[in-house]
A and B are shown apart, each in its own frame.
Chain A
Amino acid sequence: MTTETRLRAPAVGPDPKRRNTLKRGDSLHRGNRKQARRNTLIGWTFILPNFLGFLAFTLIPVLAAFALAFMEWTSFSAPKWVGLQNFERMLGSDSFWIALRNTVIYAVGHVPLTLVLALGLAMLLNRKLKGIGFFRVAIFFPYITSLVAVAVVWNMLFSPTDGPINQFLQFVGVANPPGWTSSSDWAMPAVIITSVWRDMGYYMILYLAGLQAIPTELYEAAEVDGASPWQRFWNVTVPSLRPTTFFVVVMLTVSSFKVFDLIVVMTNGGPGRATTVLSQLIYQEGIGEGKFGYSSAVSLVLFLIVLTVTVLQFKIQQRRER
């Protein structure tokens, strides 16, 4: 990134460098030198207020996170370069593998469920009916409700003894309803159900936007050709929604691997370590125990997973388009 920056665009960099790089940029050629310089100056004055904050509190920490992963640094000792030692320790650590496993399980449950429900809801709501706006808004609302309130309410709904959910399950004939958040087998499903309920309204909006962009002529043509609703769904809707689905899958996967606050508030990783996820491990090791280097190594793994998933899905998408 840095070399490219220097080659193509000398203006990137903190303030003092600017005059310098500008001269270089000018000497390359440019018809109206004065105008270019003026534009650069004006452009930077617009960007600067945001950029200073962004540079200091996002860009530098992001870069620092990469470097820290290869250092030994705790709140009690000075930073020291240790190469891959953090990663070795991580791969040999029980809690890392448990957290990774739980994160993957969460993603495997959360992504397909949310996707299917969001698409289903969007199809149901993509019609011109009186009052349809109300239904859309109602389904979207959980997404912007505060997480703490959501987690607290669902914890009570999931209450093993007299909670409404288990009462309902008993009513429909389940003799021994699960213990949900108090059982290590059922805590993760409980978290997944809550998160699907909360997130599907958001992805429904994305799908609605996608559905509305499909030209109605396609459906009319399919109908003329005698396609059944089911065939129309598979041969018109699904292919037309492919870009939306790609985006939704990427967003959902990334957000699943980042899952953090819902789990902290709902189960705090418990019971035992049944719902501990990667983000939580980073928090516990880094901010809780001050092992800055080690936790950054876990962060790097989290980032690489997210990156791999995104790139992979991008490749699949490209192949399909061909």
Chain B
Amino acid sequence: MTNLTEDLKAEAMPGGGNDISARNEFRRRSPREQKARTVNVIVYAVLVVLVAALMVPFIWMVSSSLKENNQVFTVPIQWIPEEFVWSNYSDIWTRIPMMGYLQNSLYLSVIITVLQVLTGSLAAYGFSKVRFPGRDVLFLCYIGTIAVPWQAYMVPQYIMMQQLGLTNSFNALILLQAFGAFGVFLMRQYYMTIPDELCEAARIDGLSEYGIWARVILPLSKPALASLALLTFVNTWNDYMGPFIYLTSNRLWTVQLGLRSFVGQFDAEFAMIMTGSVISVVPILIIFLVGQRYFIQGIATSGMKG
């Protein structure tokens, strides 16, 4: 199978399919294998076209961010700018307080992620490795609230924050988002797959429960911790409704709010708007490329075992 796919890669290259060596190889293969090869070539072709089509919004975003405003909507579309207007990327920092927005987003994302991962993994240990009366009912409460749409209780949350005098502050968002049930759920699903015998053995060796959590479970659950941390970070970074409801002063705005307000104020500055969009996406792209494995694992675990 691996040989086959390696061959295929060479064949999928332009012009690689028709040379003599490939023909000779074909002769040695059974008809069935040949058929599989043809199918694979077609799949490659379809995938390339499909992914290119799906990436159009991103391509257009980057290309427009390097144009003058009046070059963005042209007939026909210019996929590559006539001349690259790199100055968009230096001007945006003075047009809007982009640096401040990035700092705010980073601050919120880091604090919320740290709290969520820490409290989530602690609670997950309690829910999966310690037996005590009421544990499962309590966990049901957690699951139950995941099923309730957040929109259904955002008003009581808002009233509460208003009473506490926390509206228009980061603290409101941190308190609301750092103790989510989802994190506990995700970590518990993972901890359930770690055999209890490991904890038993550690108990016999004289480790306390906190010791087991810190020295046995945490090191074993690195992939799940990474999943949760990445998902939380990205969610917080991308969150629009939370900051939209709670942060009213410009100096507290996150990248998402800043970008949205920029679009509202200067709706004809197409190029600059795209520049801002690119800047808001780049951190996510980097994080995603570094940790894509964990994103996908996190989704597959929390999704399928629910």
Kindly supply a per-residue 1/0 record for chain A positions 51-73, scoring 1 wherever the CB is within 8 Å of any chain B CB and 0 otherwise.
11110111111101100100000
Bound Cα distance from A302 to B150, whole angstroms: 10
A198 to B: closest C-beta gap in Å: 10
Q: Mark A261-283, 1 if CB is under 8 A from B, else 0.
A: 10011000000000000110011
Say whether A25 contacts B123, CB under 8 Å: no
Q: Once the chains bind, are A43 and B43 in contact (CB under 8 Å)?
A: no
With A5-B134, A46-B130, A206-B304 known to touch, is A258 a contact of B259 (CB < 8 Å)?
no
Contact B284 A39 (CB under 8 A): no
Given A144-B284, A264-B244, verify A153-B60 contact (CB < 8 Å): yes
With A153-B274, A197-B57 known as contacts, the answer to whether A162 contacts B133 (CB < 8 A) is: no
Return chain B residues, CB-CB under 8 Å to A138. Answer: 51, 54-55
Report yes or no: A130 in contact with B133, Cβ–Cβ below 8 A: no
**Inter-subunit contact B241/A260 (CB<8 Å):** yes
Whole-angstrom distance between the Cβ of A253 and the nearest chain B Cβ: 11
Q: Once the chains bind, are A206 and B130 in contact (CB under 8 Å)? A: no
A152 adjacent to B73 (CB under 8 Å):
no
Does A214 interact with chain B (Cβ within 8 Å)? no
Write out the residue numbers on chain A whose beta carbons fall within 8 Å of the beta carbon of B142: 54
A254 interface residue (CB < 8 Å to B)? yes
Instruction: Tell yes or no: A287 within 8 A of B by CB.
Output: yes
User: Taking A40-B132, A154-B57, A299-B155 as contacts, is the C-beta distance between A58 and B179 under 8 angstroms?
Assistant: yes
Range of interface residues on A (Cβ < 8 Å) = 35 or more
Chain B residue nearest to A296 in the complex (CB): B155
The verdict on A46 contacting B295 (CB below 8 Å), with A147-B238, A258-B151 known, is no
Q: Is the CB of A283 within 8 A of B154?
A: yes
Given contacts A64-B153, A65-B155, A310-B147, contact A130 B57 (CB under 8 A): no
Bound-state Cα–Cα, A96 to B270, Å: 35
- The segment from B20-28, B88-96, B157-165 found at the interface with A is B157-165
The yes or no answer to A9 lying at the interface (CB within 8 A) is yes
Contact A50 to B179, CB < 8 A, known contacts A127-B43, A279-B151: yes
B3-11, B194-202, B220-228 - the one binding chain A: B3-11
Q: Does A205 lie within 8 Å of B300, measured CB to CB?
A: yes
Residues of A with C-beta under 8 A to B55: 138
B44 in contact (CB, < 8 A)? yes
Bitwise interface map of B from 288 to 305 toward A, beta carbon under 8 Å scored 1, else 0: 100010011001100110
B residues adjacent to A (C-beta < 8 A): 1, 5-6, 8-9, 40, 43-44, 46-47, 50-51, 54-58, 60-61, 64, 72-77, 118-120, 122-123, 125-127, 130-138, 140-142, 144-145, 147-160, 175-176, 178-181, 183-184, 209, 213, 234, 237-238, 240-241, 244-245, 255-256, 259-260, 263, 270, 273-274, 277-278, 280-281, 284-285, 288, 292, 295-296, 299-300, 303-304, 306
Beyond the given A59-B145, A299-B151, could you list 6 further A-B residue pairs with CB under 8 A, ordered by the A residue number? A11-B138, A64-B160, A149-B259, A197-B54, A206-B299, A292-B155
A-B residue pairs, 5 tightest by C-beta: A53-B179, A9-B134, A46-B126, A11-B134, A286-B155
